[in-house]
Amino acid sequence: MFWGQSSPEKATEVWHLIADGENSYTKLKDGGYRNAIEILTTTISIKRNGDRLIILKDLDEIMKTIDESDTICYVKEILNENEDIKSIEVGELLNQKFHRNWLRSSKIRYGNALLKWSRYLS
């Protein structure tokens, strides 16, 4: 998984909203959390039952799952070699390693997102 849909802050924020009882998918989606919800769904951390979102994992477990993903581990290796690397360079390395065919804009977007997630999780 490339974790480019949303920032770690937004994913954490929506998890807390759901945990605090604001669990309407429609309301959260309309509030700008659709992509953050997608990340939580991808990690099998929440599920949708009609319009209701239900938490399946605590936040620490979610972050551990993301932290152990192939893409985050790879970007952490890259950062260990060059902590000043640019997002486009990370995107190009991800594109090669994971056999993608991304446009330049996708390389920048995913490179930036994975740098952000990797630094957040460190």
Q: 94: closest CA among 70, 68, 65?
A: 70
Question: What tens digit of pLDDT does each residue of 2-20 get?
Answer: 788 899 999 999 999 999 9
pLDDT at site 77: 97
pLDDT at 110 over 90: yes
pLDDT at 88 over 80: yes
Cross-strand partners of 49: 52
**Structural domain boundaries in the chain:** 8-57, 69-121
pLDDT at 90 over 90: yes
3-state percent breakdown (helix, strand, coil) of the chain, nearest 5: 65, 5, 25
Distances from the Cα of 105 to the Cα of 27, 48, 59, 88, angstroms = 30, 31, 30, 9
How much is the average pLDDT of 63-68? 95
pLDDT at 72 over 80: yes
